[in-house]
């Protein structure tokens, strides 16, 4: 079978299943997981949250079918199952937080436990800087990076379609990488399944959303995406793994640093991300997500170029170009839109 057919079929099944699960779960979520607007909200009417359950169910159903039908080497299969189990544990934690907010002192250690399990048992062979860093230090930094990525995906899920346009193109690129290289095919299947799940969820989340992802979705999606980027980095695509999620990383990280400088309580909800400020500065939600989607398309091209040309000057040029493009969009969002 052509290497591109399995991820395409997995994505299709995941999208169809997630779409159906959204319809089936919505009445239950309206009853038990209704997000009511407050001063920090971007929505103006009560909206059910928890669509991430449908995304994960659709993705896991499609991926489980693929694993049942196709032979997979035991180490890859076992690693994949551990990632899925850890993501499910984070989903359960997120569901509790959606219904009744949990203190940060409880959330962060449990999140770190899930990230650490994936790091130590699903990808123990990966070394990014074996000649520069001791194993313990590299693992510690990877744990912090993974924990930050899980939370930044949650932070960035603040307006309709932001997670869809921010991560679905990235996951599609990773699925392609699993079919064409350098990513392994099984990781490509995981990327395709999650991408399909987000696509199936997208119609319910389009502006103005009828359903939100919720922490039950953003946390496990962040973990799975971080794992896939880590595998890409370990396969020789470190620069590409930085470029692909650069908008999410830059917006969330710069916002965190700014809040720390203002001595704000960074664990509390807020509306100071660049994409949130853009809504105040005259941009419609549809315009914001369209510009983020366009940027992510350009970042995918630059990531592909960095993989095709491994020489250091080419890597640096791609990373600089990605930084300039991302910085330009952040600057645009931070300024009031000029009247037409």
In three-state secondary structure terms, 49 is: strand
CA–CA dist 250, 292 (Å, integer):
12
Task: Identify the pLDDT of residue 42.
Answer: 59
Contact 227, 42 (CB under 8 A): no
pLDDT in tens, 98-116: 888 888 889 999 999 999 9
Question: What does the pLDDT average to over 198-212?
Answer: 95
pLDDT in tens, 2-14: 788 999 999 999 9
Question: What does the pLDDT average to over 79-107?
Answer: 93
Residue 230, both tokens: 């880590």
pLDDT in tens, 36-49: 765 455 555 789 99
pTM of the model: 0.96
On average, the pLDDT of the chain sits at 93
CA–CA dist 210, 176 (Å, integer):
31
Question: DSSP for 118-186?
Answer: IIIIISTT--S-TTTS-HHHHHHHHHHHHHHHHHHHHHH--STTHHHHHHHHHHHHHHHHHHHSSS-HH
Question: DSSP for 240-305?
Answer: HHHHTTHHHHHHHHHHHHHHHHTT--TTS--S-SHHHHHHHTT--HHHHHHHHHHHHHHHHHHHHH
* Residue 10 exposed, middle or buried by CB count within 10 Å (0-12, 13-18, 19+): buried
pLDDT in tens, 232-258: 999 999 999 999 999 999 999 999 999
Task: Identify the pLDDT of residue 298.
Answer: 98
CA 336, chain centre distance (Å):
28
CA–CA dist 221, 41 (Å, integer):
21
**Angle of CA points 327, 328, 330, to nearest 5°:** 65
Whether the per-residue pLDDT at 152 is higher than 60: the answer is yes
Whether the per-residue pLDDT at 206 is higher than 70: the answer is yes
Q: Rg (Cα) of the chain, in Å, rounded?
A: 19
């Amino acid at each position: 079978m052509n290497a591109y057919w399995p991820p395409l079929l997995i994505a299709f099944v995941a999208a169809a299943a997630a779409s159906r699960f959204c319809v089936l779960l919505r009445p239950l979520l309206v009853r038990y997981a209704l997000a009511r607007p407050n001063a920090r909200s971007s929505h103006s009417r009560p909206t059910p949250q928890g669509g991430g359950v449908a995304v994960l169910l659709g993705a896991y159903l499609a991926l489980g079918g693929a694993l049942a039908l196709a032979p997979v080497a035991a180490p890859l299969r076992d690693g994949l199952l551990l990632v899925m189990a850890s993501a499910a544990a984070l989903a359960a934690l997120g569901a509790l937080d959606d219904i009744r907010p949990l203190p940060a002192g409880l959330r962060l250690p449990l999140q770190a436990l899930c990230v650490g399990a994936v790091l130590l048992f699903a990808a123990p062979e990966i070394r990014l800087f074996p000649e520069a860093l001791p194993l313990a230090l590299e693992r510690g930094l990877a744990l912090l990076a993974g924990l930050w990525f899980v939370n930044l995906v949650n932070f960035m899920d603040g307006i309709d379609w932001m997670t869809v346009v921010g991560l679905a193109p990235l996951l599609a690129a990773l699925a392609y990488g699993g079919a064409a290289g350098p990513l392994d095919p099984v990781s490509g299947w995981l990327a395709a399944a999650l991408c399909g799940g987000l696509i199936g969820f997208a119609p319910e989340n389009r502006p103005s959303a009828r359903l939100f992802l919720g922490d039950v979705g953003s946390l496990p999606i962040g973990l799975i995406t971080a794992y896939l980027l880590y595998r890409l980095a370990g396969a020789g695509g470190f620069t590409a793994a930085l470029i692909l999620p650069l908008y999410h990383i830059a917006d969330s990280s710069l916002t965190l640093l700014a809040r720390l400088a203002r001595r704000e309580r960074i664990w509390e909800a807020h509306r100071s991300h660049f994409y949130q400020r853009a809504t105040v500065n005259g941009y419609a939600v549809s315009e914001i997500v369209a510009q983020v989607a366009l940027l992510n398309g350009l970042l995918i091209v630059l990531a592909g170029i960095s993989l095709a040309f491994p020489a250091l000057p080419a890597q640096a040029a791609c990373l600089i170009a990605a930084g300039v493009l991302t910085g330009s969009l952040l600057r645009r969002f931070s300024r009031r839109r000029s009247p037409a």
